[in-house]
Structure 1
Amino acid sequence: MTPPCPAPDTPSLTALADQCVQCGLCLPVCPTYGMEALEAESPRGRIALIKAWETGTAAPTPSGEAHLDACLGCRHCETVCPAGVRYGDLLAGARVRQRARRPASAGQRMTEWLTAHPRAMTALLTTYRIVWPLLPARARPLPRPPAPPETPCPRATEADATATLFTGCVARGYDASLHAALHRLGGAIGLRIVVPDDQGCCGSLHAHAGDAGRAEKLTARNRAAFAGQRTVLSLASGCHEALADGLRGQCEVRDALDVVAERAARLRFANRAERVALHLPCTQRNLVRSVGALHALLARVPGLEIVPLDAGFGCCGAAGTQMLSDPGRAARFRQPLLDQLAASGATRLLSANTGCRLHLANGTALPVQHPLEFLAECLA
């Protein structure tokens, strides 16, 4: 039996699809339509497919399922839609239906299990770091995890903390230096940070793959972990919406870039005569909207030259697990950005989303960092 989706207190998939007026303004901003030039690879086309399946006027087919799979979930379409179509809700609901029809692959289930079990994920990444030099290129789906920092991040006590930090799942194995950088910046702006140990994955990866039940369990875990906190800082734009929705009514979730930017007058940066490439993740532009804060912070660094990295189709192709499940296609979205990076003369690349950084770093030898990690290096 197909489970109902969305939940009873939200509009049905048919009602969500009916909001679309089929104007086509979404087509020029859709990365998959830009690459394939097929109607079925556009938001309008996918909405038509979902509505046909939901109303029973057409049966799902393997080719139709593939078009739904191919959506990157970038949400560019929502930013230009004159009818206010909630495409993100529609896509999430449709993928719940899809998962009931067609079970997830073994690789997808393993990825979901690992992200839901941070200790197992950390152990796997530790092993991956050790064996990485011995692996052929085709067996390196992610860049080599960095060595753990010699000095762990300083942690404030619960009584002293003014903000708590969300660390997520895969970021624990890759972003230790970023977390240390945020503590340094926090010290410079008078912000003390605590990191609850019992937090976990935001559930975004599971929700986007149609596993709403697991996503809800992860949300419940984080609600318990952040109980009693007022402000939770997010460092990954791809996690932000799921985390904010899950903690709504309990505490405020804020992008760390916005919080640091608000207190930027306390920061002093050394001169940095360097050309740096800046990639703006889809989730940062369309959901978190901390781009203004990011530009304001980078503008405070004397001598710094910023090169926008914006070639190609509007998305790097990481798209949650798609860089793992369909690496060839993900690389097609990434390649124009890598070509632009190589021609820019930049010495490093900055991006505010974990998945985007991992995907881009796996295609270049240049350092790829979160902007806050770079800004901490620039402190005078």
Structure 2
Amino acid sequence: MRCGFCLPACPTFKETGLEAESPRGRIALMKATVDGVMEPNDQFEDQMNHCLGCRACEPACPADVKYGQLIEQARDAIEAHTVRHRGWVKVVRKLVFKQLFPHQNRMGLLGKGLRIYQKTGLQTAVRKTGAVGLFSKQLADLERTLPKVSGKGVIQQLGTRIPAKGEKLATVGMFRGCLMDSMFTETNNKTVRLLSEAGFEVIIPESQNCCGALHAHSGETHDAKQLAKSNIRAFQEAGVDYIISNAGGCGAILIEYDHLLHDEPDWREQSEWFAKRVKDISTILVEKGRLPQPSQPQSNDRVRVTYQDSCHLRNVMKGGNSPRKLLAALPDVELVEMKDAGSCCGSAGIYNVTQPEMANQILEHKMENANATKAHYIVTSNPGCLMQMKLGIDKHADNDRVQAVHIVDFLFDRMVKS
């Protein structure tokens, strides 16, 4: 397909106007490399890595080209054949992809370490001295958006089985994630309690692990598959009716486990069982839940809210409408649509770390649209988007009172009595 419908949907093409920065252009580069017309050199690798992986091109494509699968295959091929990783790059990749994210207990230690960092005054000292900025200005910027970390995961705080309030509608498995559970534990807690209030028994399998999204997006497909198999086993053994995610980036890979394992016949049935049960928290609440009655506002004043889509929730899980329905149903909320709300904010996993120039350019334009809504809250459904929007507020907000918040936290505070 060379029609070009994907071009105006692509954030990097919109920023640069370059054909090579579009899905059509990148597919042409992939084909030229496969056909032997060009070498998979540094420029080719850079262009593949410059893609955000937001997959906004897929809903725009009349031929339903699976661009997300193509870009992941290209990155996997690059990683399999590259000999260019040297020194610290190789060390960091091994640390992140092999030693840290696959191990839930080590992610828990990360959470405890961040808790100590925040509570001992070390964070204050680091910020005053600008120590993080010596390594990377982008990392220093992102450090300012870190949430308050509890140091305890959702299982440590709530247990592995939480009963439904009132008549049970279904049994759901909570996918706790790795960063979500180590850094955004309070959001995980509120997710479980919101599900319980809505009539769902919640099971949190202890043996689950990282979803594998970062691995799949970074050319570490083998490891992504191993993580997927472990998660499938964990939730099958739990015997749940649905598998609930509160992070759009995680949900998008979970719902495609059947594709990830499509070349392994022994896993076809199990991966299909898993994939068809995955739902975002907003979707399950709208479609199946017995929603708690929102608390009535104390005055006639309404808060102005705008919603920033999680790319993967919108483009892969097709769940962009459910958050809006939930927000619009709140009596104290005026929901105002942001221009290009479905366009990527520039977070894209670790993109804002590996491609800071493009990420910051996209974020600046995103904040222009957010500022135009004059919203009090920017609500989103993914932790990476949440931190990116907090960074955008820190750098570009017109109103110093505006806040970025996860939709679960926003709903819980208005629907569930403490």
- TM-score, normalisation: structure 1: 0.86
- CA distances 1:8-43 after superposition (whole Å, capped 9, x unpaired): xxxxxxxxxxxxx21112111111111111111111
Match of 1:90 in 2: 70
Indicate yes or no: 2:103 matched with 1:117.
Answer: yes
Looking at structure 1, the residues matched to 105 and 255 of structure 2 have their Cα atoms a distance apart, in angstroms, of 23
* Pick aligned residue for 2:255 from 223, 240, 244: 244
1:362–1:121 Cα change, 3 Å? farther
Aligned residues: 360
* RMSD (Å) for aligned C-alpha atoms: 2.6
- Asked whether the equivalents of residues 199 and 290 of structure 2 are also in contact (C-alpha less than 8 Å), the reply is no
- Shift of residue 263, structure 1, vs aligned partner: 4.4
- CA distances 1:205-252 after superposition (whole Å, capped 9, x unpaired): 111111111101111221222123232111111111321233633331
Match of 2:411 in 1: 375
Looking at structure 2, the residues matched to 249 and 367 of structure 1 have their Cα atoms a distance apart, in angstroms, of 39
Looking at structure 2, the residues matched to 329 and 312 of structure 1 have their Cα atoms a distance apart, in angstroms, of 18
Match of 2:148 in 1: 146
> Residue 296 of structure 2 aligns to which amino acid in structure 1?
N
Looking at structure 1, the residues matched to 403 and 93 of structure 2 have their Cα atoms a distance apart, in angstroms, of 28
Secondary structure at the counterpart of residue 56 of structure 1:
coil
Match of 2:384 in 1: 355
- Shift of residue 312, structure 1, vs aligned partner: 8.8
Looking at structure 2, the residues matched to 75 and 356 of structure 1 have their Cα atoms a distance apart, in angstroms, of 15
Looking at structure 2, the residues matched to 154 and 148 of structure 1 have their Cα atoms a distance apart, in angstroms, of 16
Looking at structure 1, the residues matched to 218 and 30 of structure 2 have their Cα atoms a distance apart, in angstroms, of 16
- Shift of residue 78, structure 1, vs aligned partner: 1.3
Secondary structure at the counterpart of residue 152 of structure 1:
helix
Looking at structure 2, the residues matched to 44 and 186 of structure 1 have their Cα atoms a distance apart, in angstroms, of 41
Using the aligned pairs only, state the percent identity. Answer: 30
* Pick aligned residue for 1:182 from 185, 191, 195: 191
Looking at structure 2, the residues matched to 157 and 311 of structure 1 have their Cα atoms a distance apart, in angstroms, of 38
Secondary structure at the counterpart of residue 276 of structure 1:
strand
Indicate yes or no: 2:322 matched with 1:320.
Answer: no
Secondary structure at the counterpart of residue 335 of structure 2:
strand
* Pick aligned residue for 2:278 from 228, 233, 253: 253
> Residue 171 of structure 1 aligns to which amino acid in structure 2?
M
- CA distances 1:158-194 after superposition (whole Å, capped 9, x unpaired): 9998111001111112221212212222232211212
**More displaced stretch, 238-247 vs 146-155:** 146-155
Moved over 4 A (4+): 157-161
Gaps of 5+ in 1: 1-20
> Residue 123 of structure 1 aligns to which amino acid in structure 2?
L
Match of 2:287 in 1: 262
> Residue 110 of structure 1 aligns to which amino acid in structure 2?
L
1:313–1:65 Cα change, 3 Å? farther
Match of 1:208 in 2: 217
**More displaced stretch, 210-219 vs 114-123:** 114-123
- Asked whether the equivalents of residues 276 and 306 of structure 1 are also in contact (C-alpha less than 8 Å), the reply is yes
**More displaced stretch, 37-46 vs 175-184:** 175-184
Gaps of 5+ in 2: 258-269, 395-401
Indicate yes or no: 2:50 matched with 1:70.
Answer: yes
* Pick aligned residue for 2:375 from 337, 342, 346: 346
* Pick aligned residue for 2:233 from 214, 224, 229: 224
**More displaced stretch, 175-184 vs 361-370:** 361-370
* Pick aligned residue for 1:330 from 359, 363, 375: 359
Match of 2:180 in 1: 171
- CA distances 1:259-303 after superposition (whole Å, capped 9, x unpaired): 111245542102352112210121121111222221221121103
1:158–1:197 Cα change, 3 Å? farther
Looking at structure 1, the residues matched to 61 and 358 of structure 2 have their Cα atoms a distance apart, in angstroms, of 26
* Pick aligned residue for 1:50 from 25, 30, 44: 30
Secondary structure at the counterpart of residue 350 of structure 1:
strand
- Shift of residue 311, structure 1, vs aligned partner: 5.0
- Asked whether the equivalents of residues 357 and 369 of structure 1 are also in contact (C-alpha less than 8 Å), the reply is yes
Looking at structure 2, the residues matched to 167 and 88 of structure 1 have their Cα atoms a distance apart, in angstroms, of 24
